[in-house]
């Protein structure tokens, strides 16, 4: 299958398919004319990549876990659990940090609004 056909079937742009290839996520071979040719399993591999990206996994982790993917990519073999748990823990930490930053910013906004409302009018005597 050529890159255009793979793009149409998966809804992923040719540019992004080339990026997946550069990252070692997708493989192709070259025809005599230099055109990329993908195997019959390429649409399934692209869907797995998209599923893993949607789960927030970076491409370097996807490269490690992709060989353990089966089916659509929604269920992975046990060999991926360490990577998945590490990524989940990192996301949980980020969420905690974001909540803390949000709470601090909300307090700052409230204090500033309160100070603005209680400040004497400029020029009043």
- Structural domains in the chain, sorted by start: 3-118 (1.10.1660.10)
In sequence order, which residues have a C-beta less than 8 Å from that of residue 74 and are 6 or more positions away?
A: 51
| pLDDT score recorded for residue 84 | 84
Question: Over 70: is that where the pLDDT of 72 sits?
Answer: no
| pLDDT score recorded for residue 123 | 55
Alpha helices (runs of H) in the chain, residue ranges in sequence order: 3-10, 14-22, 42-54, 59-65, 81-118
Where b means 16+ CB within 10 Å and e means fewer, 38-69 reads: beeebbbbbbbbbbbeebebebebbbebbeeb
| pLDDT score recorded for residue 103 | 97
| pLDDT score recorded for residue 120 | 74
Question: Over 90: is that where the pLDDT of 24 sits?
Answer: yes
| pLDDT score recorded for residue 82 | 85
| pLDDT score recorded for residue 46 | 94
Mean pLDDT computed over every residue of the chain: 89
% of the chain surpassing 70 pLDDT:
92
Question: Over 70: is that where the pLDDT of 89 sits?
Answer: yes
| pLDDT score recorded for residue 53 | 92
Q: What are phi and psi of 41, to 5 degrees?
A: -85, -5
Rounded average pLDDT over 65-94:
82
% of the chain surpassing 90 pLDDT:
55
């Amino acid at each position: 299958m050529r890159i255009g056909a793979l793009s149409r079937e998966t809804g992923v742009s040719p540019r992004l398919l080339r990026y997946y290839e550069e990252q070692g996520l997708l493989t192709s071979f070259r025809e005599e004319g230099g055109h990329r040719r993908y195997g019959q399993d390429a649409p399934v591999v692209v869907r797995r990549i998209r599923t893993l990206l949607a789960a927030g996994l970076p491409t370097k982790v996807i490269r490690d876990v992709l060989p353990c993917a089966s089916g659509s990519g929604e269920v992975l073999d046990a060999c991926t659990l360490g990577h998945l748990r590490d990524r989940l823990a990192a996301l949980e930490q980020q969420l905690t940090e974001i909540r803390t930053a949000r709470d601090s910013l909300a307090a700052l906004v409230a204090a500033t609004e309160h100070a603005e409302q209680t400040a004497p009018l400029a020029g009043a005597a």
